Chains A and B, each alone.
Chain A
């Protein structure tokens, strides 16, 4: 039994990797299997968790009738299959969009805008307790000022209603540089973890399947 799993795993692993050379039947088989199996997998998970676990159990066992609202919207969604029912499927959609807008508005507002602004309000001189302010560590102060100036410049880059010209344009340009440093740093930092994934698969092929390494 274990062997079957190992060989299937190896077959599909190599099938996907073969795509790097070029598209080929081996990859197509792997892809087709993947699409079919994974679509079925998520359908089943959602069926048991949501349709059965939330709606059926909620309504019939816990008498939580408010859940029927979700059910009704769900059925409306399906009405688009009828030739004349398409328009009503916009209602659940309108409901989703409204709720998402309201929810995201408040959520992003408090967690992104307010929190980020709050945590940028750092003192310009970071000081050690009990010592005069100006003996503060220079590196820390430079760091704080860099964070503040960088944040400002980055925000200026995102300004839409003012032309990026003159001093303002200079600041916007500096902003995009800061953003580029951010992107470069995250990219460089991620390379390592991406390599780990490949090492994991190679270990599966050489170690678990071919048993070439301990």
Chain B
């Protein structure tokens, strides 16, 4: 078994991948191990000192900052005995006098990763096999000096898939630049924006815009602000005002800049004033309390909720509904989407929120990026299909091609550290 391991490492690797996919199988395997252990339990042993593990090595873990060292060994010949407990791993750093225990693994495990080393420091490791009654003589490794690598080659798959998806998006952006108009399906929530603004104008009421309650360090907030730009551009043409209470100071600054610019580009810079956007409080429910108050007192005709929302989503949407406002919501918080869907007139579900500003801009380059996203989705579907076929056929067919293929498709989508 050891020979085959050396001769074909990748085969072992992919077998372990398959095993990890067939999680339900694991208990059965360990059951076998327990059974075989039981059979030897009857041996009368007074003081049982196990044989030490062999070929103990410590090597620098590749492609990291030098903070990991992999210690591995061949199992002790007594490993399968019922009395056998496991292995203690000790470490001594350069300049330290004694070995310190850094970890223990149960019987049957032949590696341990030390995750607390420093780059360019020498370490020596010691592995001790143990039973309840005694310890085997320790085995000491050679000195290992973990180092800091330049490039993390283990992430080749992230790089590859990332390059493919980003490449698709960038390709369609630049492709569109050359003037080819792309078809984009209708998104109901966005089609409704003009009507909603028109309705506010007819009623002579304001528009309420909530960009979520997260700060600018959430890409959902940025998405909300970009939609704000488009909405403000339309609103600027009418004699109505945007009312935008915000929960974050940086959002306050950004939103003002955005609306101001939108009014300027609509040729009505004088209609803009700073009071359209005001800061309330950073506190989630304090903010909601105030916005609820604003809603019932000002009775806006249209409410936009576009950004990152948490539990307050339903409080806002229900209050908005009670004043008879048209409500257009959008968020990428999966837990809050059900509430918006239930209580609002239109909801942009997840991806649609990010697509919204591109859609509204109607600019070829922006629309091109949506096409790029679709290529990503197609690729994800193909990958899932191939992966499912792979794992299924691996069970039915005994073919090295199927094995290799299945290993590859899984490796492509797993993040190895």
Binding site for B on A (CB under 8 A): 16, 19, 22-23, 27-28, 30-31, 34-35, 37-39, 41-43, 46, 77, 80, 86, 89-90, 93, 96-97, 100-101, 104-106, 109-110, 113-115, 117-118, 120-130, 133, 148, 151-152, 155-156, 158-164, 179-180, 182-184, 186-187, 190
Contact residues of B between 380 and 402, Cβ < 8 Å to A: 380-381, 383-385, 387-392, 394-396
Given the interface contacts A80-B253, A124-B392, does A113 sit within 8 Å of B376 by beta carbon?
yes
Q: Are A114 and B283 in contact (CB under 8 A)?
A: no
Given the interface contacts A35-B286, A121-B384, A126-B24, does A97 sit within 8 Å of B281 by beta carbon?
no
Q: Are B161 and A114 in contact (CB under 8 A)?
A: yes
Q: Are B281 and A38 in contact (CB under 8 A)?
A: yes
A46–B281 CA distance with the chains assembled, in angstroms: 13
Q: Give every chain A residue within 8 A of B384 (Cβ-Cβ).
A: 117, 120-121, 148, 151-152
Q: Give every chain B residue within 8 A of A41 (Cβ-Cβ).
A: 283
A57–B290 CA distance with the chains assembled, in angstroms: 35
A186–B296 CA distance with the chains assembled, in angstroms: 29
B49 at the interface (CB under 8 A from A): no
Q: Are A148 and B388 in contact (CB under 8 A)?
A: yes
Q: Give every chain A residue within 8 A of B222 (Cβ-Cβ).
A: 97, 100
Interface core residue of A105, A120, A164, A179 (most chain B CB under 10 Å): A120
Q: Give every chain A residue within 8 A of B293 (Cβ-Cβ).
A: 23, 27-28, 31
Q: Are A96 and B250 in contact (CB under 8 A)?
A: yes
Contact residues of B between 339 and 356, Cβ < 8 Å to A: 339, 341-342, 349-352, 355
A45–B334 CA distance with the chains assembled, in angstroms: 29
A30–B374 CA distance with the chains assembled, in angstroms: 48
Q: Give every chain A residue within 8 A of B395 (Cβ-Cβ).
A: 123, 125, 127, 133
Q: Give every chain B residue within 8 A of A19 (Cβ-Cβ).
A: 292
Interface with A: B88-96, B231-239, B407-415, which one? B407-415
User: For this complex, into which size category does the number of interface residues on chain B fall?
Assistant: 35 or more
Q: Are A77 and B391 in contact (CB under 8 A)?
A: no
Chain A residue at smallest Cβ distance from B369 = A160
Identify which of A101, A122, A128, A155 contacts B381 (C-beta below 8 A). Answer: A155
Given the interface contacts A93-B216, A93-B250, A114-B158, does A152 sit within 8 Å of B21 by beta carbon?
no
Q: Are A100 and B217 in contact (CB under 8 A)?
A: yes
> B349-368, CB under 8 A of A: which get 1 and which 0?
11110010001000000000
Interface with A: B7-15, B124-132, B182-190, which one? B182-190
A121–B202 CA distance with the chains assembled, in angstroms: 53
Chain B residue at smallest Cβ distance from A107 = B219
Chain B residue at smallest Cβ distance from A133 = B395
Identify which of B187, B216, B253, B339 contacts A97 (C-beta below 8 A). Answer: B216
B370 at the interface (CB under 8 A from A): yes
A96–B415 CA distance with the chains assembled, in angstroms: 27
Identify which of B165, B283, B389, B410 contacts A42 (C-beta below 8 A). Answer: B283
Given the interface contacts A93-B250, A114-B413, A123-B22, does A187 sit within 8 Å of B338 by beta carbon?
yes
A162–B373 CA distance with the chains assembled, in angstroms: 12
Q: Give every chain A residue within 8 A of B150 (Cβ-Cβ).
A: none
Q: Give every chain A residue within 8 A of B281 (Cβ-Cβ).
A: 34-35, 38-39, 42
> B273-290, CB under 8 A of A: which get 1 and which 0?
000000111110111011
Identify which of A39, A126, A160 contacts B355 (C-beta below 8 A). Answer: A160
A171–B359 CA distance with the chains assembled, in angstroms: 23
Given the interface contacts A109-B158, A129-B28, A186-B338, does A121 sit within 8 Å of B374 by beta carbon?
no
Chain B residue at smallest Cβ distance from A151 = B384
B29 at the interface (CB under 8 A from A): yes
Q: Give every chain B residue within 8 A of A179 (Cβ-Cβ).
A: 349
Chain B residue at smallest Cβ distance from A80 = B253
Q: Are B390 and A121 in contact (CB under 8 A)?
A: yes
Q: Are A23 and B296 in contact (CB under 8 A)?
A: yes
Identify which of B28, B352, B370 contacts A130 (C-beta below 8 A). Answer: B28
B77 at the interface (CB under 8 A from A): no
A126–B410 CA distance with the chains assembled, in angstroms: 17
Chain B residue at smallest Cβ distance from A163 = B185
B324 at the interface (CB under 8 A from A): no
A110–B157 CA distance with the chains assembled, in angstroms: 10
Given the interface contacts A96-B250, A123-B391, does A114 sit within 8 Å of B415 by beta carbon?
yes
Q: Are B410 and A121 in contact (CB under 8 A)?
A: yes
Q: Give every chain A residue within 8 A of B390 (Cβ-Cβ).
A: 121
B257 at the interface (CB under 8 A from A): yes
Q: Give every chain B residue within 8 A of A160 (Cβ-Cβ).
A: 184-185, 187, 355, 359, 370-371, 373-374
What are 15 A-B contacts with C-beta separation under 8 Å?
Answer: A90-B257, A96-B217, A113-B380, A117-B387, A121-B384, A123-B395, A128-B24, A129-B22, A129-B24, A152-B384, A164-B185, A180-B341, A182-B338, A183-B342, A187-B338
A22–B289 CA distance with the chains assembled, in angstroms: 13
A113–B374 CA distance with the chains assembled, in angstroms: 13
B109 at the interface (CB under 8 A from A): no
Given the interface contacts A89-B253, A100-B217, A159-B377, does A122 sit within 8 Å of B289 by beta carbon?
no
